[in-house]
Every structure is written in structure tokens, then in C-alpha cells.
Structure 1
Amino acid sequence: MIVDVQIAISASRAAVWAAITDIERAAKTISGIDDIEIVEKPASGLVGLRWRETRMLFGKPATAEKWIIEAVENETYTTKAESDGFVFLCIKRIAEGSDGATLAETHISQPQGMVAKLMSIPMSLFFKGVAKKAVMQDLIDIKAAVEQTPQGQAQV
């Protein structure tokens, strides 16, 4: 299953980058995240950053361990998570626009075995809309956080 969303943000690419890479404070920025626990920090850069993220899913807390597998500063980063026979990739991308930046996010769910492949069929049919709405809300929250800071500058 693939979910794609994007949003225009009236701020610089650097301000958006600062907001989306501030993983430690993501629970304060994104309403859908209840808790963040940093597991491992790389010596430099983002690649290798690992954290546990807790969200409410279907009325129950669900925690996933995520890590950044690739990053290009001020442009894109990709996270990976594994759970219940699936690999989940999330790609965040920032493009410069005429009135600011565009933040795009793609979620890819890849089943890894026969059971997961069978589970992916109803997942694609019934949960794609729910997932798209949740990802869009994340982007709306990021936009609000970035645009409310003075002149679109990310808080440090």
C-alpha cells in the first residue's frame, strides 16, 4: 500500500527541515504522536537516528521503532520500521516553491511473507483512507508549527 500527501508551507525550506528533523520534540508538534523515546543517536547527521514512537491506533497505544536510513539535508529523509511481517518506509521531501516550501510524505507498506501479503489486501481496501487522513493531519500540524514561529523560522 502506498499513501502520498503534500502540503504547501509559507516558510523556507530550512525552517521546514528543522521542524521535520526535530524528532525529539515531534510529540509536541504532531498531535497524532503521544510519545517519542530516542533509542540511538548517530555521531553526526541523521542517518542512524533510532526512536520509538507511540500513537493511538484504533483506541489503543501502538509503539513502533523507527530509524532514518537515508537523508539529504534540507531535501529528504527516509525512515524504516518493521512490524507484524511488514516493512514500513516513510519518505519526507521538501521542495522550494514560489511562496515557501512544499512538504510531501509517502508511506509504503511492504508485506514480507505470505501471511502479510494476505493481510495487505484488506489493508489496502479499508485502511488506505484512514492512513492518508492521519498522514495529512501530521503535515497540517507541521505546517501550523512552522508558520506560527516568527517569520517561518524553526524553533531550536
Structure 2
Amino acid sequence: MSDITLTLERSIAAPPEAVWRVLTDLEAAPAILSGVTRVERLAGVGYAIGTRWRETRTMMGRDETEEMEVVGIDEGRSTIIAAEARGMAYRTEFTLDPTPEGTLLRMRFGGSLQSPSWVQRVVAKLTSRLGMAVTRKMMQQDLDDIARAAEAA
């Protein structure tokens, strides 16, 4: 299995504008997202297509740093972030939909092996269930952290 896709959503008792501000404030990410320990801006000002940064997360007891880039924006409604690491290409899309109670925030994460060898395909198949469980937990925590910050604003 070389491709993975996972979609989670979270209702937030805050307007989309408040959620968008939290979602796009890169410098505040370590204070908002409990899994993120450090952010280092590499390119761009504010939050725009082409903005790049290094993000360090603690996952399974280890620090992992990946370079990320904003590759799509529909201001206030959605954004797409891309990353590549260890032969995998990742895309994370956040979509904000207004609701009577506030905002429905949807997070869609996808990853695919780029030119995988047969060994990489076998390893991916053997570890996919664990990887999906870890990814789901991390995504849910991010959504909960974003909701907490937006609702407190």
C-alpha cells in the first residue's frame, strides 16, 4: 500500500474567520498545537502560496522535522500544505465551512510513496495500520487544539 488518505472533521464553536486566523498563524503553532515543538520560517511573509517552513513535531517519542509549503489557498475557506520526506509526498487540506454553531473544520491528509522500490512497498503494507492509527491520533489532536484556540479567541 503506497497511498494513504484520511479525512477527519471537527465542529468548532467559533466563526470561520477565527478558525482561519488560528490555522494560518505559523509562528503561534508551537503554542497552539500540542504536537508541534518548533516552527522555523524559511520563505514568505504572513500566510500565502509559496510560504515555506520547517516544523518539528514529537511523534512516537521522537522529534521529526519536515519542510512544508503552502501550495493552495482559498482565503478564509481552505488551504493546502505540501511536504516531502523519506520518499513520501504529503498533502494536507483544511476546509472551513460555516455552520449555525460556528465552523466545521475538515482536515484531509494524503501521502504517497514516490517511485517506491519493492522493499518500500512491502514495508508500507506491513506498517500501514500502525501509521494510519498514529496519523489519525495526530490529526484529531491538531483539530482539537485548533478548536480550543479559536474558541478562546
Q: Structure 2 length normalisation: TM-score?
A: 0.91
Which ranges of structure 2 fall in alignment gaps of 5 or more residues? none
> Which one of the candidate residues 140, 143, 151 is aligned to 1:147?
151
Partner of 1:55: 57
Q: Where in structure 2 are the equivalents of 1:87-102 lying within 5 Å?
A: 87-102=89-104
Give the CA deviation at 1:66. 0.1
| SS of the residue 1:114 aligns to | coil
| 1:23-48 Cα shifts (integer Å, max 9, x gaps) | 11111110000000000015x75100
Q: In the alignment, which residue of structure 1 is the partner of 2:124?
A: 120
Equivalent AA in structure 2 for residue 82 of structure 1: E
Q: Shift of residue 114 of structure 1?
A: 2.2
Structure-to-structure mapping, 1:10-25, within 5 angstroms: 10-25=13-28
Q: In 2, Cα distance between the equivalents of 1:118 and 1:106?
A: 25
Provide Cα deviations, 1:55-109, integer angstroms capped at 9, x if missing partner: 1122221100000001000110001100111101000110011110011101101
SS of the residue 2:30 aligns to: helix
Aligned residues: 148
- Among candidates 132, 139, 152, match of residue 135 of structure 1: 139
Residue type of the alignment partner of 1:117: R
Q: Give the structure 1 partner of residue 44 of structure 2.
A: 41
The aligned counterpart of 1:78 is 80
Equivalent position amino acid for 2:55 in 1: E
Hey, what's the Cα distance between the residues in 2 that align with 1:47 and 1:93? 16
Q: In 1, distance between residues paired with 2:147 and 2:47?
A: 23
Q: Percent identity between the aligned chains?
A: 26
Give the TM-score, by structure 1 length.
Answer: 0.89
1:117 and 1:51 map into 2 onto residues whose CA distance is 29
